[in-house]
Amino acid sequence: MEQYDKRVDDYIDRAADFAKPILIHFRDLMHKASPLITETIKWGTPHFEYKGTICTLGAFKNHCIIGFWKSSLLPNPHGVLTKKDEAAGQFGKITSLADLPSDDILLDLIHHAVLINEQGIKTEKKAAKPKEPITVPEDFEQLLEQNAVAKHNFENFSYSSKKEYLEWFAEAKTDATRQKRLGAAITLINDGKTRYWKYNK
């Protein structure tokens, strides 16, 4: 991958006038920090990489953002990383060069980010939130008890497939609608079909 990417030049050229000096300055700092850093465009915005993504740079209508991908691992002795656990925008909304930390601080952060990727250090994954237990309503439970095949199939559905059926029942505006949906569900489940089986082909 080339150190410079013309698509980043084009991105800067299309940016608002206030953003251009910010984008140009930070881009220059990235390459000043290390000639090993390359640039590319991902998801429509400039990304700087060395053995993985180091940071991203974005320009919007009224502000810019700089986001270090492993910001939670970076030192922050000067308190400039205001949102250390987010993947983008650790410096808040940047509207001028005056909003940026000093070049020395930025270069130090970039050097640390390069070292983190060089050493292959990973950020800790956030623990997944525990799923709420599935509570089968009594009227549906009774129908399942009367149909062994449907009961077996429902019990073997994924968590999300079960939730889709239960939410469908709960959204019924009238008891008549609910009863109709319960009956339709038993027929589908008996055939091993999830709520949105038509879209899973």
pLDDT tens sequence for the chain (201 residues): 578 888 899 999 999 999 999 999 999 999 998 889 999 888 888 999 889 888 888 888 888 988 888 877 777 777 777 765 444 577 888 889 998 888 898 998 888 888 888 888 776 655 567 777 888 889 999 999 999 999 999 999 998 899 999 999 999 899 999 999 999 999 999 999 998 887 765
Structural domains for the chain: 6-118 (3.90.1150.200), 138-196 (no CATH)
Instruction: For residue 89, give both structure tokens.
Output: 């925008």
Distance CA 198, CA 201 (A): 6
